[in-house]
Homo-oligomer: A and B are copies of this chain.
């Protein structure tokens, strides 16, 4: 049979690194250090240092596929790990610095991490797990500027001592480059292993104009941790395009970030809603305090972003792009943009679409499947579990034979998110499978209730969970955080909800709390709330 005549050229992160060194040497990487001072590196230095890291790792005995863990904040050296470790043939394993010591140790042992690159300011965390793990070498990045203890390898000396003349080892495009464990709420954490191929394809798909739409004029500030699904893959994109990056380091409080925005003028930032929501609140209260860059764009994911919050940012001149995905999907699987047939909509009519999980990305096949195994119509009403398929979607978990139920017989990933899809293709996530409330045989979406409660002008955050009920099986319970110094009554929330929801869908009870529990990646942890409820640890209802 006739064969295509195209060259056999494997997809490779090394191509991005060489491209950056060759074309974008003058582009800048700005890092905020722990003392809040800024330091700037050029891409030329980044390229040279990444290759030095690769060369030093090889000289240290790294073999193809060996795991090199990172326990780091967002900074330029972490970016060097993103490219230097795969360049050497290693697998970068990003560790979540917000995990407990036991879970961290379990993950490091499961992944069989051989080397570790760790920030000096995070050594106290490492100390908590040191006895439980076996690391051949600990390389300490002197992020604080202090001298590194002789007991460790100094990252800077490691690079300075790298043999010259580094040559990329040949690789297949399916070879692994990075791994990340999901913060599953049930069972042990599960590892996803990305390849050169998946990283490159995800980057190309996510960079499309109606997805991230990153351009040469952008300066990108990732608040999303670089240990959280590779900071959503944005660092790969910036290096491919030679874009200026601004790394916030360890100071991530809303005021710290707004100060950094004002100081460094990013055009594009990314993070979870729990980062952004208090910032909108601060800007509402002190509208004169921060002069932010005009037309700044924000990529939001990880949890639903209420339409009211997207509108609040728009009032401050900031444009929210809402994406959906998970560690298992590299992560961007869908993004909320206005499709061709809806281009006639005016600005106001676009907001409800911005609040959806959007449309599937190119290269992603996406379907919803009901409990009966049937795909419901795309009518915006009937729901099913989201299942996805494609070249940057995981097809298994690393050495997790008990995870077979996370995949369908035809090889699609079962995401555990429940959604409807409207006739235009927009995905509206109503819940996690395990967060749905079944009352009297009918489903109630906790996410819909939460978004509606958060539209209350004096509410900061809200979670709705199912609690057992003798007659109705389950009933919704609302847990609400008031904005500081604000008074909110259950009646005022109930009145607001009654405009949109049926009487039987309204929460029976309201609990007011100082803060809600979040997972290590900043998502609302309803599992924790349910556990607190079972243990009788929640405050009394009002």
Contacting residues, chain B, for A176 (C-beta < 8 A)? 2-4
Asked whether A204 lies within 8 Å of B208 as measured between CB atoms, the reply is: yes
Of residues 2 through 57 on chain A, the ones whose CB sits less than 8 Å from some CB of chain B are 2-11, 15-16, 18-19, 22-24, 26-27
| Least Cβ–Cβ distance between A146 and chain B, in angstroms | 33
Grouping DSSP codes into helix (H, G, I), strand (E, B) and loop, the A interface class, with mixed when no group exceeds half, is loop
In the docked arrangement, what's the CA distance between A8 and B396, Å? 11
| Least Cβ–Cβ distance between A16 and chain B, in angstroms | 8
Contacting residues, chain B, for A23 (C-beta < 8 A)? 339, 359-360, 424-425
Contacting residues, chain B, for A198 (C-beta < 8 A)? 4, 6
Asked whether B210 lies within 8 Å of A8 as measured between CB atoms, the reply is: no
Bitwise interface map of A from 144 to 183 toward B, beta carbon under 8 Å scored 1, else 0: 0000000000000000000000000000001111010000
In the docked arrangement, what's the CA distance between A25 and B191, Å? 38
In the docked arrangement, what's the CA distance between A243 and B16, Å? 29
Asked whether A9 lies within 8 Å of B210 as measured between CB atoms, the reply is: no
Of residues 34 through 83 on chain A, the ones whose CB sits less than 8 Å from some CB of chain B are 64-65, 67
State the copy count for this chain.
2
Closest to A412 in B: B7
Asked whether B2 lies within 8 Å of A339 as measured between CB atoms, the reply is: no
| Least Cβ–Cβ distance between A531 and chain B, in angstroms | 30
Asked whether B205 lies within 8 Å of A216 as measured between CB atoms, the reply is: no
Q: Tell which of A227-235, A310-318, A386-394 binds the partner.
A: A386-394
In the docked arrangement, what's the CA distance between A141 and B241, Å? 43
Asked whether A340 lies within 8 Å of B15 as measured between CB atoms, the reply is: no
Contacting residues, chain B, for A10 (C-beta < 8 A)? 391
Closest to A11 in B: B391
In the complex, A338 has a CB within 8 A of chain B: yes
Closest to A399 in B: B2
In the docked arrangement, what's the CA distance between A23 and B421, Å? 11
Interface size on A, residues (CB 8 A): 79
Asked whether B217 lies within 8 Å of A213 as measured between CB atoms, the reply is: no
Asked whether A217 lies within 8 Å of B343 as measured between CB atoms, the reply is: yes
Contacting residues, chain B, for A91 (C-beta < 8 A)? 2
Assuming A208-B204, A362-B240, A425-B22, is B4 touching A339 (CB within 8 A)? Answer: no
The listed residue (B6, B11, B26, B340) touching A195 by CB distance below 8 A is B6
| Least Cβ–Cβ distance between A377 and chain B, in angstroms | 12
In the docked arrangement, what's the CA distance between A3 and B172, Å? 11
Asked whether A193 lies within 8 Å of B3 as measured between CB atoms, the reply is: yes
In the complex, A192 has a CB within 8 A of chain B: yes
In the complex, A1 has a CB within 8 A of chain B: yes
In the docked arrangement, what's the CA distance between A214 and B213, Å? 10
In the complex, A297 has a CB within 8 A of chain B: no
In the complex, A115 has a CB within 8 A of chain B: no
Given contacts A3-B174, A11-B201, 17 further A-B contacts (CB under 8 A): A1-B65, A4-B177, A5-B191, A5-B396, A6-B395, A9-B391, A15-B362, A23-B359, A24-B339, A26-B340, A26-B341, A27-B341, A200-B363, A207-B208, A207-B209, A209-B215, A216-B339
23 contacts between A and B (CB under 8 A): A1-B65, A2-B65, A2-B176, A2-B179, A3-B176, A4-B193, A4-B197, A5-B191, A5-B396, A6-B393, A7-B390, A7-B411, A15-B363, A18-B365, A24-B341, A26-B340, A201-B204, A204-B204, A204-B362, A207-B209, A216-B337, A240-B362, A243-B340
